[in-house]
Every structure is written in C-alpha cells, then in structure tokens.
Structure 1
Amino acid sequence: MKNVYTWAAKPAKRSTTVGDLKAAKGKRKFTQVTANTTDEASAAEKAGFDMIIANAKNVIPVREGSKNLFLTAALVLNEYVTADDIMCGAFKALENGADAVMTPRSMDIVEMLAKEDVPVMGHLGLVPRKSTWIGGLRAVGKTANEAYELFQKFKRLEDAGAFSAECEVIPENVMGEISKRTDIVTVSLGSGRNADVMYLFMEDICGDTENPPRHSKAYGNLLKLRNEIKVERVKALKAFKKDSMAGKFPSKKQSSNLDKNQFEEFLNQLD
C-alpha cells in the first residue's frame, strides 16, 4: 500500500498510483473492473483487483466499498457537456475520492485537465457512443491505414497529457505494437493481451448480461441467479395471495390476542 493525500487533502492508502502504473509499463500487468455500487467495489477489492472505474456520479458509494483501490471516475459524455461541466465534474470526483478521471472527449479537453495536473485516462479505438462515425460497432484498426491513424491518435493523446487510455476493441497485434511505442498506460477492453491493464465490465465477468460482447468472458452466472430470484418472487407472492384468500394467513404464529379476561373486559367497555 502507498501513502497518498487525496484531492480533498486527506491521508489515504492506495494499492497503486499513477506513478506506479507508469513505472510498471511493459514490466507487469494490472487488472481493472467497473464498479458502480458499494458492494461491487468491495468485491473487486476482496478479489485483489488493482483498479476500478466508476461513473463519476457514483464515486462516493464506490469509495465506501473500496478504500484502497485505484479509482478512475468516468465523465460520461452526455452528463458532462461543456468544458466547465467537465472541469467541475473532474474536481468534484477527485474531491470525493477518485484518483483519476476518464473522458472520451477531444484532445483539447484532455489537455485542459492535464494542465491542472488531473490524471486523465482517454478513450481510443471503439467509442460506442461515437460508433456512427465508423459505420457501427466494430473493431478499430483492421487495416494498415486505420491502424496507423489510430497510432497517431495515441501519440496526440500522449502529447495532450493523458497518462492512460481505455483501448476498446483494437486488434491484439496492433494494440501490442502501439503499446510498445507510447508512454501511455494502455487498458485493454477487447483489445487482447498485449496491453498494460486487462479490463472487463463487472457484469460481463460475473455473467450478468443477456447479450455479452464477443470480447467478454463470463466467470460466473449472476444472470441465472437473478432470473431464479424473479421466479421465486412471483412464486412467493402467489402463495401469499392464495393463503390470504383461503384464510390460512395470518395464522396463530403471525397474530396475537388479548388473554381471555382482558378481552372480556374490553368487550364490556365496548358495550
């Protein structure tokens, strides 16, 4: 654990820091998972993850669940629109306990944040919310020209001051060559094993989605458990209604009565 001061000027301990991530580039792998609730963050810490990423609005409950993991706050496109929104959102997230922010916005926005020493993770490759520009959801860098254009974006992101980038659905061999040629800490989301950080969504790892992306792998089956809960809930409600209509609920166990003498006195008072 490393001793740090948070952006709220409070002493804290972190499993890793920006400095650690940069120093370890190309030497060791890290792991990252999404966490947007206290329970999810707690599970990630207990499982030994190095990093978690949460929507900026969820930083407070996430930090309650994990006091020590490196936490990145995602500044969602449609929730932080203007430059002022982004700057205020970034500093609020950091004040609430985040260690870095992630933005899929322009190089100018990244540079704006980096100039204030905010640790910034960019987003390159497939950015789903911008997928219309590339003809839909697909891998990015599947031709030599597109791969080279992607590499140039990494270098521009590096020049803008980002310390890291979420690298989404990039061919593994392209990702490997780019990662070797940039100082940016590369975080692979569907981009193979040749990045610095291995990353998947919590729901994909835990098997909690009906239509998982091709690059994901389920290591659990929470969806089955959730569906069983739905069935059990309806079953219980139906049984309650049936017993209620048949006069079987409530039984003596769920009810209480005055003793005989007190009840007779009560009836006398009523009369």
Structure 2
Amino acid sequence: MSIQGKIKIVTTHQLQEMKSKGEKISMLTAYDYSMAKIIDQSGVDVILVGDSASNVMAGNETTLPITLDHMIWHATSVVKAVKRALVVVDVPFGSYQGSSSEALRSCIRIMKESGGHAVKMEGGVEIKESISRVLSAGIPVMGHLGLTPQSIYKFGTYTVRAKEEAEANKLIEDAKALQELGCFAIVLEKIPSKLAKKVSESISIPTIGIGAGPNTDGQVLVVHDMLGITQDFKPRFLRQYADLNKIMHEAFENYVSDIKSQKFPNEKESY
C-alpha cells in the first residue's frame, strides 16, 4: 500500500532523526520519471540518481563513461516525479577529482539544472577540499566509502574492500573525516559487516549500506537489480524482490504473438 502523503517530505535533517531513533533508512536508485514516481509513491526515503545509469541504462561495463550532462538529464527526469523522497545525485567521474573549483562548478550545475536535493561523491580525505568547497556553497553532500566503483581500475576487482586491518582503519578515519567536514550521510559499499557496524557506531551521521550487512542505518540497492530486470548480476548481497525480466519477456512475446495471429487489435480496441 502506498504511504504517499502519510510521511512528511524527507530531508537530511529527518535522516539524522531517523538514525537517532533507530529507524532504518530505505534508499533505491532511479534514472527516469516513470520509475521514480512509482518508487516515491511506495514510501522509499531516499532516491539516488546513480551513476550506475552508465551500466543499467547505457550498457557500459563501468560507471566511468557517464558524463555530467548525462547525470543532470537523468536527475531532472527523476526530480519531476518525486513528491516525498530526498533526491541525491551522483557526481560522475572526472567532474570533481581535479580541483575543488571544478567540483563546485559541477555540483552547482547539478543543483541548479536538475533540482536535486543533494549530491554524492566517492572518496575520503583525498577529496576533502572538493567536499569542503561544495559544502561551503550550501550543497548537502553524501559520502561514499569502501568499494568505490569510479576507482574500479585502481582496485582491479569488485571484491570486498577493507578486509585487511590497514584499509579498515583508513576507512574508519575517512568516515570520521567526512562527518567532520559536514557530510550528512555515508554510503558503505561491499565491506565486512563487522566493520560497517563499527563505522556506524563510531559516527553520528547515518550510514547506508550496500553489501555491508544489517548494522548500517539504512540500505540501498540498484532498482534494476532488485526487480530482476538485470539477469547477469547476482552478487551475494542482492535480494531480488521480483522477476520482471521474466514477466516482461512473456508480455512482449504475447504482444508479438497477438499481432502475428491478428488477435490485436480487436474490434473493441478499434475506433
């Protein structure tokens, strides 16, 4: 049942209150108007316009090819549909790492042109100047630590991050640094559950997990993955809530069959 209208518009402040009360935060990706409208009406707290659009919408192997213009286009479509959820927009690879000035220009464009509510940036202390500059302009920033897909060629693998003590300690320090800078939340991707719990307990801002176990303050999944639209990506952390790939295949096949057999359109479907 839709809970649209029963809960006030979600803000960064409300997410903080949810953590304080122990209420878990729900987050899903969206890239277009129609899907975003359904997600928003279902009561999801945060909608991420993810650079994963590069994979599920454009068919790229990584998130790296998607551009700032692409992200703004997707975000604009999503924002038009959303009445309740907080809309966070990924800042794409190459549009904030070069300098804090470039980061600020990119994020201002996202906010002004798309109407998004916040941005998400991957990385820890190495991008602190960019994060600080963006925050100084009044733009809310969500951090992202652990497996950071924009750095996939640096890692060379999509395996679990921070299993070793040194990397785990750095991740904890990065999380504390992001909080100190002023980030309102942090995504923790594909790290050990015990580490995610430790991070979540050591900072006061919300953590959103993906492949980080049950002890983060919220969870996020890519909508195409959890709906079973994508078939060749089934990591351990993914729970598939529907098999839309099968349902859509059957619908399309029935449509083709009805046309070939002249069952569609019938007399009632004609003018």
Residue 104, structure 1, aligned to residue 122, structure 2: yes
* Alignment coverage as a number of residue pairs: 237
User: 1:239: Cα distance to partner?
Assistant: 5.4
The aligned counterpart of 1:66 is 82
Q: Which residue of 2 aligns with 1:171?
A: 192
Q: Is contact 1:139–1:169 with CA below 8 Å preserved after alignment?
A: yes
Query: Whole-Å Cα distance in 2 between the matches of residues 229 and 30 of structure 1?
Result: 34
Aligned pair 1:213/2:208, yes or no? no
Of 177, 190, 193, the match for 2:211: 190
Percent of aligned pairs with the same amino acid: 25
**Given the alignment, which residue of 31, 35, 40 partners 1:40?**
35
Once the two structures are superposed, residues 60-79 of structure 1 have per-residue CA deviations (whole angstroms, 9 ceiling, x without a partner) of 22122212211111111146
Letter of the structure 2 residue corresponding to residue 203 of structure 1: H
3-state SS of the aligned residue for 1:159?
A: helix
* 1:92 lines up with 2:113 in the alignment: no
Higher RCO (C-alpha 8 Å, min separation 6)? 2
Matches within 5 A, 1:153-172: 153-172=174-193
Tell me, in whole angstroms, the C-alpha distance in 2 between the residues paired with 1:64 and 1:89. 20
- Map 1:109-120 onto structure 2 (within 5 A): 109-120=130-141
What TM-score, normalized to structure 2?
0.76
Instruction: Give how far 1:183 is off.
Output: 2.5
In 1, the alpha carbon distance for the partners of 2:244 and 2:256 equals: 19
1:181-205 Cα distance to aligned partner (Å, 9 max, x none)? 0133211111111111211111122
Q: Sort the Cα spacing of 1:130 and 1:25 in 2 relative to 1 into closer, same or farther, 3 A.
A: same
Q: Indicate whether 1:223 and 2:223 are aligned.
A: no
Correspondence for 2:15: 21
Work out which of the two has the higher radius of gyration on C-alpha atoms and give 1 or 2: 1
Listed as ranges, the gaps of 5+ residues in structure 2 are 51-70
Aligned partners of 1:24 and 1:113: how far apart in 2?
25
Q: Distance between the aligned counterparts of 2:92 and 2:183, measured in 1?
A: 17
Q: Provide the TM-score with structure 1 as the length reference.
A: 0.76
Gaps of 5+ in 1: 2-12, 241-251, 254-271
